[in-house]
Structure 1
């Protein structure tokens, strides 16, 4: 007969993860975090690039329309010098409308360009800073 009581066992306690396991988890989490931040930066840069392209297109279109307006005003001045009031009046009105339209397009383009510049992923940078602050706070505990 055994002298020890084999029916009594101590309940298993959950062990704390080893240092190696914690380092492995930290490495995986940092890798995931970096991958997510890079993806966020890519998305943000693509959006800024698109806004920059649209703004440049609008500014170009506004420039062409304004140039047309300027050419029309030149034609109006020529017609006025020829003393044909109906012709120069029509050309003056057309030129004015084209200049107003061109100015509106140019201002819209300028706004789009301003929204896209500088092409820096601010959201990704701020998110990364926040993540680093969180990691620093957790490491101090």
Structure 2
């Protein structure tokens, strides 16, 4: 019986590790999206802002041109943030399947059947 319990515990630990690896992969992808969005947003904002501002300066004051370009990038940044946050909310670091099987194991240990 001790051997069976040890085997069961090893299997539970392996299951927990697998679940945590899977969730960590999801978290890594979400973090990569945050990083990519941040760097891409920075580069695009820098060069597109300059180009747009120089284009707008031909028809309005420089300060207004800069303000308009800034507002556009603020909207883009907000959309990227919301998308990254929704991806991050999908991540669960709690190994649900392991918790469930441990509950079942505890139930069985209290009332073993032959």
TM over 0.5, shorter chain: yes
> Does residue 85 of structure 2 align to residue 110 of structure 1?
yes
Structure 2's unaligned 5+ residue stretches are none
Structure 1's unaligned 5+ residue stretches are 1-25
Q: How many corresponding residue pairs?
A: 102
Q: Greater relative contact order: 1 or 2 (C-alpha under 8 angstroms, separation 6 or more)?
A: 2
> Does residue 45 of structure 2 align to residue 70 of structure 1?
yes
Q: Distance in 2 between matches of 1:108 and 1:83?
A: 35
Alignment of structure 1 residues 51-90 onto 2, 5 Å:
51-71=26-46, 72-73=48-49, 75-83=51-59
Query: 1:55–1:113: 8 Å Cα contact kept in structure 2?
Result: yes
> Does residue 40 of structure 2 align to residue 33 of structure 1?
no
Q: Distance in 1 between matches of 2:108 and 2:83?
A: 40
Q: Report the alpha carbon displacement of residue 74 of structure 1 after superposing the two structures with TM.
A: 5.2
Flag the structure with higher helix content. 2
Normalised by the length of structure 2, the TM-score is 0.68
Query: 1:55–1:109: 8 Å Cα contact kept in structure 2?
Result: yes
Aligned residue for 1:83, secondary structure, equals coil
Partner of 2:101: 127
Normalised by the length of structure 1, the TM-score is 0.57
**Larger Rg over CA atoms:** 1
Q: Distance in 2 between matches of 1:136 and 1:125?
A: 17
Q: RMSD of aligned C-alpha atoms?
A: 3.1
Q: Distance in 1 between matches of 2:98 and 2:91?
A: 15
